Amino acid sequence: MPEALRAAGLDVRVHDELFPQATEDVVWLTEAGAKRWVVITRDDRIRYNQLEKQAVLASKLRFFSITSSALTGDEAATLILSVARASSKTVTFVLSR
């Protein structure tokens, strides 16, 4: 999916390009919010973890969780592109699994 989004001209980073894999979610979510990145993840567990949920809310993080296992990478890319095209600002998207 990152390749398709980059090919469409979006500034896309992958979590593991920016942070060690063992970085706690609270840490990288807070940093993503501070840098005004848009986070897109398939991790549906964040909504159940109070500290992670608080990190998202406190940092005013723009956060999308795509939890449908039926959604393919291409379909998710199409969805993200439609959101990005509706935005008037240039943003950096961070993809996480």
- Using one digit for the tens of pLDDT, what is the confidence trace for 67-78? 888 888 888 888
Q: Report whether 40 contacts 15 (CB < 8 A).
A: no
- How many C-beta atoms surround the C-beta of residue 75 within 10 A? 13
Q: Report whether 12 contacts 81 (CB < 8 A).
A: no
> Which residues in the chain come in under a pLDDT of 70?
88-89, 97
Counting every residue written for the chain, the total comes to 97
Q: What is the pTM of this model?
A: 0.81
Alpha helices (H) along 1-97: 2-7, 15-18, 25-34, 50-58, 73-86
